[in-house]
A and B are shown apart, each in its own frame.
Chain A
Amino acid sequence: MSSRPIDQKGELLADAAAPALESTRAQTYLSLVWRRFRKNRVGMTGAVLVVLLLLITIFAEFLSPYDPAKRDRANIYTPPATLHFQGDDGFHLVPFTHPVEAGLDPATFEVTFVENTEVVCKPAFLGKGWSYTLFGIPMERHLFAATIECPWHLLGTDRDGRDVLSRLLVGSQLTLTMAGLVVVISITIGTLIGMISGYFGGVVDHWLQRVVEFILALPELPFYFALVAIIPRNADPLHVFFLLAGILSLLKWAQLAREVRGKTLAISQLDYVIAAEAVGARTPRIVLRHILPNVMSHVVVITTLMIPTVVLIESFLSFLGLGVQPPLVSWGLLLNAGKDLQNLGSYPWVLSPVVAILITVLSFNMLGDGLRDAVDPYQH
């Protein structure tokens, strides 16, 4: 913290001459926002988590020890294995596990799991595993590649013996792509319609707002069910994915359009917009140069707050079996495996996607709240 001395020349003189500021570099809008955002601890935590999440999503296959689609009859419903660093022979940089072996309690016939400490399962660091493509480049290396003979399931396996951790990592791609896609489409439509509605006013505004009201009045959940039902059952899973994204976008832009319209209405009353008109600027220029940058701050905040809602809707629809179809993997679809009560009791680790969704929603919300406080740096 530094004490900034008040300009000793005083206002009377300083006003006549140029401001004698210490730095010649101008403070741009972004640097002002960043200066305020940095102060917000919750927002910064959110930002760090979001960046981590995006990195994990991009490099999901590299981080997955197993092929998420590979079934393994021998290891059905294996519980999560504990990571060990300290072995009999001292410290290991690459953590190892002991295979878990299922037994039967002779009295209760309950399945019990016992760690077989005699066998040490050590994955290959940066070893070769299942093949995937990263940015179009075919690759085989993984951070930890599990060996075939010795299991290394950190979050256990599901009912087909597939590795839950790998499925969770790869599933994040589809869930976040869906969220990104829906948000980009609906933000574009919403901002455009909102600005047109707010700037032109009159009849255009009147009818656009009636359309917005119609969409806002649709009962969301039954409507999703009805729309999803239209998608043919035997359609290609990838088509289903894009159709679902389209449907969600069509229903999500309306709220944003309404908010952007309000902002635009307020801004178009300001003197600088009238001044632009007075120098002879055309309508597209006024909208793109004077109104858009000033509503963008609001739009960015809405974007970060909208992503978690889309993640939740996608998981919800997929959980019910209406959304993403196998063999694609998404968090909602993974949760589908945990819908039966018996599974919950016996194999709680299949619920791990819940934690992933929770972290995602929280971190985007934290980031959005932080941004909301920071985007208006001119007000004190």
Chain B
Amino acid sequence: MSLLDVQDLAVRFTLDDHVVDAVRGVSFSVDPGETLAIVGESGSGKSVSARAIMKLLPKTATIDPESRITFDGARIDGFSEKQMLQVRGARISMIFQEPMTSLNPIYRVGSQIAESLILHQGMTKKQALARALDLLKEVRIPDPEARLEQYPHQLSGGQRQRVMIAMAIANEPKLLLADEPTTALDVTVQAEILKLIRGLQQSYKMGVVLITHDLTIVEKVSDRVAVMRLGEVVESEPTAALFRSPVHAYTRQLLASEPRGKPDPIEAEETVLDVDKLNVVYQLRWGGMFNRKRRALTAVDRISLRIEKGETLGVVGESGSGKSTLGKAILRLIQNDGGGITWRGQALHGLDKQAMRPFRPKLQIVFQDPFSSLNPRLSVKQIIEEGLIVNGLGGSGRERDMRVRQALEEVRLDPNTLNRFPHEFSGGQRQRIAIARALALDPEFLLLDEPTSALDLSVQAQVIDLLRELQRAHQLTYLFISHDLKVVRALCHRIIVMKDGEVVEAGETGEVMDRPQTDYTRRLVRAALDVEI
């Protein structure tokens, strides 16, 4: 008999003026010791399904009375809030995506783990803390004795996620629900966390429901896969079978949307951007009026690079390595502290805001988060034509209108949407608008700051294709910042690898990926391209 059996689960959200059926007729089951992966894009209802099992849905949600959730031989869908307290955290545990917010910042790590032990197993404070130490050892946090006394902000993201896992297994649950447990973590940390979950699963004989959008993880970790789309399970198969012969059209499409392909070869050899020993230093200040302390943090440390016309240069590295700062410094959007930037023979360093203005249309930028990069109060047309207006391009209102429509067509959006507002578009569409804003100015150089990392896999592939096409059509030069080496491989001619503000490795993309010279690069490549569990 299976450990968890979900039959015909349906969840409905009642919003201001309409209802949304987030999940409809979803059925799946998990055996003890088995890992079921639920895959789907954002909005497909995978998290809602998991939360429905735990009864952790917001007030606007109602679970259909026809739904049957059987756990360990008992129907738990009819359980009251009080009965659920006995189940939650004790027999079913959950790990969330964001380890920053799921730990309480004002309590020590030790007492947070101990709390659920005292609650569920009636331990004394002393016993619970001793058990918490064992758990921290089990999740292999370095220096576990010291961690007990630390606060969450003193730990790194990966360590915090380990603490979350320690809390989740504290009561030896039979079922673990992991909701995108590695999405917020660096790629190098990701593999270690997955390995940890796998190890714990074997020693505790837990059933695991792993919710993710990352197909590489699914292939390596899970025994069975349920593919969700628009609130329904479209395909449910053992992992090997699903990857070998996907049946449903959507699954096939999903599998095909892994970034692939190679950048087009470069034709002309002409250096357009030359950066020479660029330096960016942040002055950190803290303390009060009388004990003021200062420290200089070098975010970009004497970095030199050059980009040819029509080329894509990738910048990769873990979060905090200074990639984004480098990009913004090159475009003079933040203060530089030394070094030279030459654009087609003209020096950009040392220019003030006013003097930079003539160069702005030529050098454009696309940001990571399409939700904060578009002003919610402006229409699509106003957003795209702003650059034309401030630079006096495009002449009359009608001509500007033409150019806006043209830019929208180029990014494959309906030009008739130009009076709409950003909130009416999905993430991928918003990113297209952001690209259109840059394109409308007819730029020669685009700084792409993680333009695909906030997007779903299939959308990501489309945006990559779009970027490649635009590069071909307009002879664009890209500086592509990313932590995702799969995307980088599909798009970049050359890459530089950054760590703590310095370049540790540089070269042709294939060269660096196939024969990494440093340990750091090797780790990045291995984590991204072949997750080994």
A278 near B379 (CB under 8 angstroms)? no
Q: Which residue of A lies closest to B257 (CB)?
A: A12
A16-B462, A26-B420, A280-B390 given as contacts; is B17 within 8 A of A272 (CB)?
A: no
Max chain A C-beta neighbours (<10 A), residue from B230, B357, B391: B230
In residues 250-283 of chain A, which contact B (Cβ within 8 Å)? 270-272, 274-283
A234 vs B456: C-alpha distance when bound (angstroms)? 74
Q: Is the CB of B375 within 8 A of A4?
A: no
A15 engages B423 (CB within 8 Å): no
- A341 contacts B by Cβ under 8 Å: no
Q: Do B423 and A378 touch across chains, with their CB atoms under 8 A apart? A: yes
Contacts of B425 on A, CB cut-off 8 Å?
A: 19
User: A35 to B16, Cβ gap below 8 A?
Assistant: yes
A230 at the B interface (CB under 8 A): no
Q: Are A6 and B21 in contact (CB under 8 A)?
A: yes
List B419-438 residues whose CB lies under 8 Å from chain A: 419-421, 423-426, 428-429, 434, 437
Task: Indicate if B300 sits at the interface (CB-CB under 8 A).
Answer: no
Establish whether residues B375 and A294, one from each chain, have CB atoms under 8 Å apart when the complex forms: yes
Query: How many A-B contacts are there with CB distance less than 8 Å?
Result: 132
Contacts of B462 in A (CB 8 A): 15-16
Within 8 A of B (CB), among A62-107: none
Q: Are A12 and B253 CB-contacts (below 8 A) given A26-B421, A29-B421, A278-B364?
A: yes
Q: Which of B43, B328, B424 interacts with A11 by CB under 8 Å?
A: B43
Tell me if B341 counts as interface (CB < 8 A to partner A).
no
Q: Given the complex, which residues of A lie within 8 Å of B229, measured CB to CB?
A: 10-11
On chain B, the residues within 8 Å of A294 by CB distance are 375-377
In the assembled complex, how far is the CB of residue B375 from the closest CB belonging to chain A, in whole angstroms?
Answer: 4
Measured between C-beta atoms, what is the minimum distance from B67 to chain A in Å? Answer: 18
Which of A15, A19, A274 counts the most chain B CB atoms within 10 A? A15
| A279 touching B386 in the complex, CB below 8 Å, given contacts A19-B424, A271-B369, A274-B333 | yes
Contacts of A19 in B (CB 8 A): 414, 417, 424-426, 429
Give CA–CA (A276, B372) in the complex, Å. 12
* Cβ contact within 8 Å between B417 and A15: no
The 8 Å CB contact of A18, one of B41, B253, B364, B414, is B414
Identify A12's interface contact among B250, B378, B419, CB under 8 A. B250
Residue of B nearest to A290 (CB): B375
Interface hits, B344-401 → A, CB 8 Å: 353, 356-357, 360-361, 363-365, 367-369, 372-379, 386-387, 390-391
Contact assessment for A275 and B437 in the assembled complex, using a CB-CB cutoff below 8 Å: yes
A58 nearest CB across to chain B (Å) = 31
A17 at the interface (CB under 8 A from B): yes
Contacts of B268 in A (CB 8 A): none
List chain B residues, Cβ under 8 A from A289: 375, 378, 386
Q: A27-B424, A281-B386 are in contact. Are A275 and B20 (CB under 8 A)?
A: no
Q: A106 vs B376: C-alpha distance in the bound complex, in angstroms?
A: 77
Q: CA separation between A46 and B318, bound complex, in Å?
A: 52
Bound CA–CA A15/B230 (angstroms) = 14
Q: Which residues of A contact B429 (CB under 8 A)?
A: 15, 19
A278 and B377 contacting across the interface, CB-CB below 8 Å:
no
User: Could you say which of A10, A27, A274, A282 contacts B390, with CB atoms under 8 Å apart?
Assistant: A282
| Cα distance, A271 to B390, chains bound together (Å) | 18
Residues of chain A within 8 A (CB-CB) of B141 are none
Complex-state Cα separation, A276 to B365, whole angstroms: 10
Q: Which residues of A contact B253 (CB under 8 A)?
A: 12
Give the contacts of A20-78 with B (CB-CB under 8 A): 21, 24, 26-29, 35-36, 39
Q: Please determine whether A278 and B365 come into contact, CB atoms closer than 8 angstroms.
A: yes
Q: Which residues of chain B come closer than 8 Å to A29, judged between CB atoms?
A: 376-377, 421
* CB pair A272 B374 closer than 8 Å: yes
Whole-angstrom CA separation of A274 from B365 in the bound complex: 9
Whether, in the assembled complex, A293 has its beta carbon less than 8 Å from a beta carbon of chain B, the answer is yes
Task: Tell whether A15 pairs with B428 under 8 Å between CB atoms, given A1-B18, A275-B437.
Answer: yes
B412 at the interface (CB under 8 A from A): yes
Residues of B235-289 contacting chain A, CB below 8 A: 250, 253
**B3 CB, min distance to chain A CBs, angstroms:** 31
- Do A18 and B367 touch across chains, with their CB atoms under 8 A apart? no
Say yes or no: is B155 at the interface (Cβ < 8 Å to chain A): no
Task: Give the distance in Å from the alpha carbon of A27 to the alpha carbon of B367 in the complex.
Answer: 25
Whether the pair B43, A21 counts as a contact (CB closer than 8 A) is: no
- Also in contact, A278 and B416, with CB within 8 A (given A3-B18, A27-B421): no
A278 pairs with B333, CB closer than 8 A: yes
B57 at interface by CB-CB < 8 Å: no
Q: Is the CB of B417 within 8 A of A11?
A: no
For the complex, give the distance between the alpha carbons of A14 and B21 in Å: 19
Residues of A within 8 A of B14 (CB): 1
Q: How far is the CA of A270 from the CA of B369 in the complex (A)?
A: 10
**Distance between A289 CB and nearest chain B CB, rounded to angstroms:** 8
Q: Is B459 positioned at the interface, with any CB of A under 8 Å from its CB?
A: yes
Instruction: Please determine whether B456 and A11 come into contact, CB atoms closer than 8 angstroms.
Output: yes
Flag if A4 contacts B20 (CB, 8 Å).
yes
Query: A6 vs B23: C-alpha distance in the bound complex, in angstroms?
Result: 11
A339 within 8 A of B: no
Determine if B331 is an interface residue (Cβ-Cβ < 8 Å): yes
Which of B14, B21, B377 has the most CB atoms of chain A within a 10 A radius of its CB? B377
Bound-state Cα–Cα, A271 to B376, Å? 12
User: What is the distance, in angstroms, from B446's C-beta to the closest C-beta of chain A?
Assistant: 11
Q: Is A117's CB within 8 Å of the partner chain B?
A: no
Docked CA distance A105–B353 (Å): 87
Q: Is B305 an interface residue (CB 8 A)?
A: no
Q: Mark A323-353, 1 if CB is under 8 A from B, else 0.
A: 0000000000000000000000000000000
Closest Cβ–Cβ distance, residue A141 to chain B (whole Å):
45
Does A279 lie within 8 Å of B376, measured CB to CB? Answer: no
Task: Tell me, in angstroms, the Cα distance from A290 to B328 when the chains sit together.
Answer: 20
Pick the contact of B360 from A6, A11, A280 — CB < 8 Å? A280
Given contacts A11-B426, A12-B458, contact A6 B250 (CB under 8 A): no
User: How far, in whole Å, are A293 and B375 apart by their CA atoms in the complex?
Assistant: 10
B441 within 8 A of A: yes
CA distance A175 to B465 in the complex (A): 65
B369 surroundings in chain A (CB, below 8 A): 271
Q: Knowing A6-B231, A270-B372, say if A279 contacts B391 (CB, 8 Å).
A: yes
B19 in the interface (beta carbon within 8 A): yes
Is A285 positioned at the interface, with any CB of B under 8 Å from its CB? Answer: yes
Given the known inter-chain contacts A271-B373, A280-B357, please indicate yes or no for A39 contacting B390, CB distance below 8 A.
Answer: no
A4 touches B360 (CB 8 A): no
Q: Mark B81-93, 1 if CB is under 8 A from A, else 0.
A: 0000000000000
CB of A108 within 8 Å of the partner chain: no
Query: Complex: how many Å from CA A275 to CA B361?
Result: 12
- The yes or no answer to A112 lying at the interface (CB within 8 A) is no
0/1 string, B204-221, CB within 8 A of A gives 1: 000000000000000000
Cβ contacts A to B, 9 pairs, < 8 Å: A11-B229, A24-B416, A35-B16, A270-B372, A272-B374, A278-B331, A279-B387, A279-B391, A280-B356
Which 6 pairs of residues, A with B, have the shortest CB-CB distance?
A18-B414, A279-B387, A280-B360, A271-B373, A271-B367, A293-B377
Given known contacts A26-B424, A272-B373, A275-B367, what 5 new A-B pairs fall within 8 Å (CB)?
Answer: A19-B426, A35-B16, A278-B364, A283-B353, A293-B377
